[in-house]
Each structure stands twice: as C-alpha cells, then as structure tokens.
C-alpha cells in the first residue's frame, strides 16, 4: 500500500493525497493553524478511516452470515490528549444497523469481531485510545 501527499503551496495548509489504488482526497487545516478550512483535517481522516474500516467489516461479516443488512451507520466520537502529540485517548463507535429480521446478537458479534480481529485501523488506534462500542439494531 502506498500514497503520495502533495502540499498545495504557500497560500495555506491544503494537502492532496493520491492513493496507490488511484484515488484522490484532500486535507486542510483550520484558519488558526494556517489552513483555509477547505477539506477535513488529517486527524479527522484517521477517525474516518477507522469508522470506515469497522463499518466495512460489520457489513461484510453480516452478509457472509447471510443476514439481510439494509443500512449501516457508525458515528465516532473521540477525545484527544491535551499535549503534543495529541493522540486519540478515547474513541466511541456507535453503530446503527438496519435489516430484515436482523438478530441483535449477530450485529454485536460482528462489531466484536471487527474490533478484536479484523479492523486494522482501530487496532492501531487502540494502542493509545480506549475504544468502546454501542449497537442499535433497527428493522427495515
């Protein structure tokens, strides 16, 4: 896996990332840090990556279990250290998963498997952050 990050130049803190899989994304900073607020912050991207990784796992695990999943949302809330490096110290993953006759236990197991076995992003973040989860299952 690889990526290339290019700075947008002297007018701010915009960075453009090109991934090895051929995709492009941008990152920027807040105005008080020299940015122009044109894109997510790099740390927001890390949190987004962890949420995407976990949601991907949960949906895949449930589909492989032949469950009828119709929607999956995960909202992450976090806390960071007060001093540099301002690592994540707490991250909560709040999953809301919808499906037809979707058992609560199956969704909870999928979240647990993602956290304990499959999600590389949350495994790395767990080195500094206390990671917690909640699960809501909806019919539909």
Tens digits of residue pLDDT in 13-55: 999 999 999 999 999 999 999 999 999 999 999 999 999 999 9
Cβ-contact 28, 15 below 8 angstroms: yes
Give the neighbor-by-neighbor strand order of the sheet with 24-27. 3-7, 15-19, 24-27
Cβ-contact 122, 114 below 8 angstroms: yes
pTM, two decimal places: 0.93
What pLDDT score was predicted for residue 11? Answer: 86
In the predicted model, what is the mean pLDDT of the chain?
97
What pLDDT score was predicted for residue 123? Answer: 96
Tens digits of residue pLDDT in 61-109: 999 999 999 999 999 999 999 999 999 999 999 999 999 999 999 999 9
Of 45, 48, 42, 44, the C-alpha closest to 28 is 42
The dihedral formed by the CA atoms of 89, 92, 93 and 94, expressed in degrees to the nearest 10: -170
CA distances from 1 to 20, 22, 57 (A): 6, 11, 19
118 pLDDT band (50/70/90 cuts)? Answer: very high
pLDDT-above-70 percentage for the chain: 100
Show the domains of the chain with their CATH numbers: 3-33 (no CATH), 42-139 (3.30.300.20)
DSSP state of 109: H
């Amino acid at each position: 896996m690889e990526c290339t990050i290019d700075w947008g130049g002297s007018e701010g803190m915009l960075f453009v990332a090109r991934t090895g899989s051929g995709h492009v994304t941008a990152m920027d900073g807040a105005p008080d840090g020299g940015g122009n607020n044109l894109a997510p912050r790099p740390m927001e991207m890390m949190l987004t990556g962890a949420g995407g990784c976990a949601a991907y796992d949960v949906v895949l695990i449930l589909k492989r279990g032949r469950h009828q999943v119709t929607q999956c949302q995960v909202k992450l809330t976090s806390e960071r250290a007060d001093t540099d490096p301002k690592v994540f110290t707490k991250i909560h993953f709040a999953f809301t998963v919808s499906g037809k006759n979707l058992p609560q236990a199956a969704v909870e197991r999928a979240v647990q498997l993602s956290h304990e076995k499959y999600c590389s992003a949350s495994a790395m973040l767990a080195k500094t952050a206390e990671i917690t989860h909640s699960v809501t299952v909806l019919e539909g």
